Amino acid sequence: MFESDKLLDRINYEIRIRSEKFKTMQPAGLYSPVCYMLEMGGKRLRPMLLLNSYNLFSDSIDEAMPAALAIEVFHNFTLSHDDIMDKAELRRNRLTVHKQYSENSAILSGDVMAFLAYEFLMECNSEKIIDIIRLFTKTAVEICEGQQLDIDFENRFNVTEEEYIEMIRLKTAVLLACCLKSGAMLAGAPCKIVEQLYELGINIGLAFQLQDDLLDTFGNQEIFGKKIGGDILANKKTFLLVKALELSQPSVYKELMYWINNVSCIPEEKIKAVHDIFLKLNIREIAENKIYHYCRKSINVIEKIELDKTLKFHLESLIDNMLKRNI
Amino acid sequence: MFESDKLLDRINYEIRIRSEKFKTMQPAGLYSPVCYMLEMGGKRLRPMLLLNSYNLFSDSIDEAMPAALAIEVFHNFTLSHDDIMDKAELRRNRLTVHKQYSENSAILSGDVMAFLAYEFLMECNSEKIIDIIRLFTKTAVEICEGQQLDIDFENRFNVTEEEYIEMIRLKTAVLLACCLKSGAMLAGAPCKIVEQLYELGINIGLAFQLQDDLLDTFGNQEIFGKKIGGDILANKKTFLLVKALELSQPSVYKELMYWINNVSCIPEEKIKAVHDIFLKLNIREIAENKIYHYCRKSINVIEKIELDKTLKFHLESLIDNMLKRNI
Is 50 exceeded by the pLDDT of residue A285?
Answer: yes
d(CA B219, CA B210): 12
The pLDDT tens digits of the residues spanning A292-310 come to 999 999 999 999 999 999 9
* Contacting residues for B145 by C-beta, under 8 A, at least 6 apart: A26, A27, A30, A112, B170
What percentage of chain A carries pLDDT values higher than 90?
Answer: 90
The pLDDT tens digits of the residues spanning B75-96 come to 999 999 999 999 999 998 899 9
Whole-number pLDDT of residue B323: 82
**Is-contact A65 A14, C-beta < 8 A?**
yes
d(CA B109, CA B88): 17
B171: exposed, middle or buried (Cβ count in 10 Å: 0-12, 13-18, 19+): buried
d(CA B227, CA B278): 18
* Contacting residues for A141 by C-beta, under 8 A, at least 6 apart: B112, B115, B116, B119
CB contact under 8 A, B107 and A104: no
d(CA B271, CA B229): 6
Question: In this structure, which amino acid lies at residue B95?
Answer: L
Structural domains present in chain B: 203-327 (1.10.600.10)
Q: Give the residue from chain B lying closest to A136, CA to CA.
A: B115
The pLDDT tens digits of the residues spanning B92-130 come to 889 999 999 999 999 999 999 999 999 999 999 999 999
**Interface size, chain A vs chain B, as Cβ–Cβ contacts under 8 Å:** 98
Q: Which residues of A122-161 are buried (b: 16+ CB within 10 A; e: fewer)?
A: bebebebbeebbebbbbbbbbbbbbbbbbbbbeeeeebee
Instruction: Give bridge partners of residue B91 from the DSSP assignment.
Output: B94
Whole-number pLDDT of residue B326: 47
As a whole number, mean pLDDT of residues B229-254 equals 96
Whole-number pLDDT of residue A75: 98
Q: Which residues of B229-258 are buried (b: 16+ CB within 10 A; e: fewer)?
A: bebbeebbbbbbbbbbbbebeeeebebbee
d(CA A176, CA A170): 10
Give the length of chain A. Answer: 327
Whole-number pLDDT of residue A319: 87
Share the mean pLDDT of chain B. 95
Q: Which of A112, A152, A156, A169 to mutate to test the interface with B (most CBs of B within 10 A)?
A: A112
The pLDDT tens digits of the residues spanning A90-139 come to 998 899 999 999 999 999 999 999 999 999 999 999 999 999 999 999 99
d(CA B73, CA B68): 9
d(CA B299, CA B316): 7
What percentage of chain B carries pLDDT values higher than 90?
Answer: 90
Single pTM value for the model: 0.97
d(CA B287, CA A118): 38
Whole-number pLDDT of residue B321: 85
d(CA A210, CA A190): 31
As a whole number, mean pLDDT of residues A261-277 equals 94
Of B37, B48, B154, which Cα lies nearest the Cα of B99?
Answer: B37
Whole-number pLDDT of residue B246: 97
Q: Which one is predicted more confidently, B219 or A15?
A: A15
Is 80 exceeded by the pLDDT of residue B209?
Answer: yes
Instruction: Identify the weakest region by mean pLDDT among A32-41, B200-209, B315-324.
Output: B315-324
Helix axis angle, A4-23 relative to A65-86, nearest 10°? 70
Q: Give the residue from chain A lying closest to B29, CA to CA.
A: A148
Instruction: Identify the weakest region by mean pLDDT among A220-234, A254-268, B160-174.
Output: A220-234
Q: Give the residue from chain A lying closest to B167, CA to CA.
A: A27
- Residues of chain B in contact with residue A133, where contact means CB-CB under 8 angstroms, are 118, 122, 133
**Is-contact B96 A119, C-beta < 8 A?**
no
**Is-contact A107 A82, C-beta < 8 A?**
no
The pLDDT tens digits of the residues spanning B160-171 come to 999 999 999 999
Q: Would you list which residues of chain B are within 8 Å, Cβ to Cβ, of chain A? A: 26-27, 29-30, 81, 84-85, 104, 107-108, 110-112, 114-116, 118-119, 122, 129-130, 133-134, 137-138, 140-141, 144-145, 147-149, 151-152
**Is-contact B39 B20, C-beta < 8 A?**
no
The pLDDT tens digits of the residues spanning B273-323 come to 999 999 999 999 999 999 999 999 999 999 999 999 999 999 998 888 888
User: How far does A22 lie from chain B, in Å, by closest CA?
Assistant: 13
As a whole number, mean pLDDT of residues B21-26 equals 98
Is 80 exceeded by the pLDDT of residue A221?
Answer: no
The helix/strand count (H/E) of chain B reads as 17, 2
The pLDDT tens digits of the residues spanning A134-178 come to 999 999 999 999 999 999 999 999 999 999 999 999 999 999 999
Whole-number pLDDT of residue A325: 59
What DSSP state is assigned to residue B62?
G
Question: Alpha helix (H) ranges present in B155-249?
Answer: 161-168, 174-186, 191-218, 221-224, 230-233, 239-247
Question: In this structure, which amino acid lies at residue B276?
Answer: D
Is 90 exceeded by the pLDDT of residue B223?
Answer: no
Whole-number pLDDT of residue B123: 98
